C-alpha cells in the first residue's frame, strides 16, 4: 500500500496526540515541585550527591533542595542532547510534529498555570499577580513558536547559470546551551527553549541558582508533553562558571543563548570565540524614561509605575533614569509620589501585595551601596529610601530620589531595584543626548502626544526597544534585544527562531529543461 506524505503526516500527528492524551490525563495529580535535575529523560541527583538550598526571599525559609551538579553532569547532558539531535525520534520528525509537541507543552503550561505561579512567587519573591502574568507571557512564546515552527522557510533563487537551480535552506544549529536568569524564571526559559525546539535544536538549560524550581517544573511538563528524551535537559548548580566555560569550549554546543549581566556576557562571548560558535546575549540595561510637556501626565505616571516597579525593579528593561520636562515636572512628581507611597509591600503570596522582596542579599547590598553613593553626592530622597527590616530581611521601600549627580553609580549603572532617579530637562536635544550617554542600549521609554516628536525621538534613541506612551513593550511577536553593551541577537518574533538556525545553500546542477 502506498502512503502519501500528507497521510503519513496526519498519522504521525495523531500518534503524538494519542500519546500526549494518555499522559495528560494524570498531569493534574503530578507534583511540579521537583528535587532532581532532568537529563536524557531521567530525573537524576548529582553524581556526588551534593545539593544546594533554594530559599524564599520573603522569609529566607528553605523551600527545596536540588542537585549541585558539576561539569561531569553537564557533559552527560551535552552527550545525550547530541545523541537526541541525530536520533530519528527528533531529527526526522516534521515541522508539523514539532509544532504539535510545542502545542502539547503549551496546553499543560496553561493547565498548571496557578501551580507554576506559586513556585515562581516562592523562589523569586515576586507578587502572585505578577507570577500569573508571567505564566501568560511565557506561554505566549510557546504558542507563538509552535506556530512559527511550520514557517521556517527557505528560498528558490533565480540562478545565473543555465540548467542550475539555487536553493537556500534553514537548518537547526544542533545542541543549544541556554543560561537563564532568576528574575523571569519561567518566561525566559520558554522564550529561548521554545524557539530552539521549534527550529529543531536540542537544548541543555542551566537555570539561575536562585530559581531552579520553575525550570524543573517546566521540564516535567515537557516530559508529559511527550517531547523526546534528551531534547530538553536541565542541569542545576550553584557553581555556574565551570559549566558556562564548558558550554563555550565544547564543540558539541553549536549555540549559546544567555540572559544576564553584561560582564558575564562578555566572558561567554570571549570564551566562545575560539570555536566561532553562535552566541546570543541579552544583557543589562539602563533605560531612560522621558516625559515631554505634551504628554498625558496621568498616563505617563501609570507607565512609570509599570516600567519601574514590576518585580521590584528587578528587570533588564526597567526604567532607571527618569527625565521630566521642566514645565510638567512638579505635576508629574506629585502624582508619581502619591502612587509610589500607596504601593503595598510584603510577601508575594499575600493578597494585594504589589512589591515583593529583592531576590537575595547580594542584590540588597548592591542597592544600599548605590543609595549611599548617591546621597553622598547630595541626592535628595523624596520618599522611601529605607531598608524595611520589619517586613523581612530583603525588603526595600519603593523610592524616588532627585538631584542625582551624573557621576553617581545609581545613574551610570543598572539599578535592579525599586528606586527612581528623577531629573529635569528643558529641550529635546538635551534629553536625547543625556538618554544616549549610557553604554547600555537595551530599552527606552518616552511619553509625548506630538506625533512628529514621537517619530523623531523614537529614531534618535540608541536602544533596541522603544516604548512610546507605554511602560511595557515586550510581546512574543516582536524582537527583543539591545545594542551597544546590552547584547547581540534577538529573541521573540520570527527573529527568535533565526538565532537557532544556519543557512545552507544548495547549487543543483545537471538539470535538463530542453
Tens digit of each residue's pLDDT, the chain (514 residues): 343 334 434 444 555 555 555 555 556 678 999 999 999 999 999 999 999 999 999 999 999 999 999 999 999 999 999 999 999 999 999 999 999 999 999 999 999 999 999 999 999 999 999 999 999 999 999 999 999 999 999 999 999 999 999 999 999 999 999 999 999 999 999 999 999 999 999 999 999 999 999 999 999 999 999 999 999 999 999 999 999 999 999 999 999 999 999 999 999 999 999 999 999 999 999 999 999 999 999 999 999 999 999 999 999 999 999 999 999 999 999 999 999 999 999 999 999 999 999 999 999 999 999 999 999 999 999 999 999 999 999 999 999 999 999 999 999 999 999 999 999 999 999 999 999 999 999 999 999 999 999 999 999 999 999 999 999 999 999 999 999 999 999 999 999 999 999 999 999 998 887 6
C-alpha 461/C-alpha 506 separation (Å) is 41
Tell me whether strands 278-282 and 253-259 are parallel, antiparallel or unpaired. Answer: parallel
Instruction: Provide the 10 A C-beta neighbour count for residue 511.
Output: 11
Query: DSSP label at 286?
Result: -
User: Annotated catalytic residue: which of 134, 201, 316, 491?
Assistant: 316
Tell me if residue 282 is catalytic: yes
Instruction: Provide the 10 A C-beta neighbour count for residue 319.
Output: 28
Tell me whether strands 483-484 and 440-441 are parallel, antiparallel or unpaired. Answer: antiparallel
Q: For residue 263, count CB atoms less than 10 angstroms from its CB and return exposed for 0-12, middle for 13-18, buried for 19 or more.
A: exposed
Tell me if residue 316 is catalytic: yes
For residue 2, what pLDDT is reported?
41
List, edge to edge, every strand of the sheet that includes 443-447.
380-383, 399-402, 419-425, 319-325, 287-291, 443-447, 465-468
What SS3 state is found at 287? strand
* Grid cell digits, residue 45: 541527583
Query: Residue 422 forms beta bridges with which residues?
Result: 322, 402
What SS3 state is found at 163? coil
For residue 469, what pLDDT is reported?
98
Please write down the HEC assignment for all residues of 145-199: HHHHHHHCCCEEECCCCCCCEEEEEEEECCEEEEECCCCCCCHHHHHHHHHHHHH
User: Annotated catalytic residue: which of 97, 282, 491, 499?
Assistant: 282
Domains and CATH numbers, the chain: 18-283+488-504 (3.40.605.10), 287-475 (3.40.309.10)
* Grid cell digits, residue 339: 502612587
* Grid cell digits, residue 338: 502619591
Closest Cα to residue 422, out of 443, 407, 401, 405?
A: 401
C-alpha 327/C-alpha 424 separation (Å) is 9
Q: For residue 482, count CB atoms less than 10 angstroms from its CB and return exposed for 0-12, middle for 13-18, buried for 19 or more.
A: buried
Amino acid at each position: 500500500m502506498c502512503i502519501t506524505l500528507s497521510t503519513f503526516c496526519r498519522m504521525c500527528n495523531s500518534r503524538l496526540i494519542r500519546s500526549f492524551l494518555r499522559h495528560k490525563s494524570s498531569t493534574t495529580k503530578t507534583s511540579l515541585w521537583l528535587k532532581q535535575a532532568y537529563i536524557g529523560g531521567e530525573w537524576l541527583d548529582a553524581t556526588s550527591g551534593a545539593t544546594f538550598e533554594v530559599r524564599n526571599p520573603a522569609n529566607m525559609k528553605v523551600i527545596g533542595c536540588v542537585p549541585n551538579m558539576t561539569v561531569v553532569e553537564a557533559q552527560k547532558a551535552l552527550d545525550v542532547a547530541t545523541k537526541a539531535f541525530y536520533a530519528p525520534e527528533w531529527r526526522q520528525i516534521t515541522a508539523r510534529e514539532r509544532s504539535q509537541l510545542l502545542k502539547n507543552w503549551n496546553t499543560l503550561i496553561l493547565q498548571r498555570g496557578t501551580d507554576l505561579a506559586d513556585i515562581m512567587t516562592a523562589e523569586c519573591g515576586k507578587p502572585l499577580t505578577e507570577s500569573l502574568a508571567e505564566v501568560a507571557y511565557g506561554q505566549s512564546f510557546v504558542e507563538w513558536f509552535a506556530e512559527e515552527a511550520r514557517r521556517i522557510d527557505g528560498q528558490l533563487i533565480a540562478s545565473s547559470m543555465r540548467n542550475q537551480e539555487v536553493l537556500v535552506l534553514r537548518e537547526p544549529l544542533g545542541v543549544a546551551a541556554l543560561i537563564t536568569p532568576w528574575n523571569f524564571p519561567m518566561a525566559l526559559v520558554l522564550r529561548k527553549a521554545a524557539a530552539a525546539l521549534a527550529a529543531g535544536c536540542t537544548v541543555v538549560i542551566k537555570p539561575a541558582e536562585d530559581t531552579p524550581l520553575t525550570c524543573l517544573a517546566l521540564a516535567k511538563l515537557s516530559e508529559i508533553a511527550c517531547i523526546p528524551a534528551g531534547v530538553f535537559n536541565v542541569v542545576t548548580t550553584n557553581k555556574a562558571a565551570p559549566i558556562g566555560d564548558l558550554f563555550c569550549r565544547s564543540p558539541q554546543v553549536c549555540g549559546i543563548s544567555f540572559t544576564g549581566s553584561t560582564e558575564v556576557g562578555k566572558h561567554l562571548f570571549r570564551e566562545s570565540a575560539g570555536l566561532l560558535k553562535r552566541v546570543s546575549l541579552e544583557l543589562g540595561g539602563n533605560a531612560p524614561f522621558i516625559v515631554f510637556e505634551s504628554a498625558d501626565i496621568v498616563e505617563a505616571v501609570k507607565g512609570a509605575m509599570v516600567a519601574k516597579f514590576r518585580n521590584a525593579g528587578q528587570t533588564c528593561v526597567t526604567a532607571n533614569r527618569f527625565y521630566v520636562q521642566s514645565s510638567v515636572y512638579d505635576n508629574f512628581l506629585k502624582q508619581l509620589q502619591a502612587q509610589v507611597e500607596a504601593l503595598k509591600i510584603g510577601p508575594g503570596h499575600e493578597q494585594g501585595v504589589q512589591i515583593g522582596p529583592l531576590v537575595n542579599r547580594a542584590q540588597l547590598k548592591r542597592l544600599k551601596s548605590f543609595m549611599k553613593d548617591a546621597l553622598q553626592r547630595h541626592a535628595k530622597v523624596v520618599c522611601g529610601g529605607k531598608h524595611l527590616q520589619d517586613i523581612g530581611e530583603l525588603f526595600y521601600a519603593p523610592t524616588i530620589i532627585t538631584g542625582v549627580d551624573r557621576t553617581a553609580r545609581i545613574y551610570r549603572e543598572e539599578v535592579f531595584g525599586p528606586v527612581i532617579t528623577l531629573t529635569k530637562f528643558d529641550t529635546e536635544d538635551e534629553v536625547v543626548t543625556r538618554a544616549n550617554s549610557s553604554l547600555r542600549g537595551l530599552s527606552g521609554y518616552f511619553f509625548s502626544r506630538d506625533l512628529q516628536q514621537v517619530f523623531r525621538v523614537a529614531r534618535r534613541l540608541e536602544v533596541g526597544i522603544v516604548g512610546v506612551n507605554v511602560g511595557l513593550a515586550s510581546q512574543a511577536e516582536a524582537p527583543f534585544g539591545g545594542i551597544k553593551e546590552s547584547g547581540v541577537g534577538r529573541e521573540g518574533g520570527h527573529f527568535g527562531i533565526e538565532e537557532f538556525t544556519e543557512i545552507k545553500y544548495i547549487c543543483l546542477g545537471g538539470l535538463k529543461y530542453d
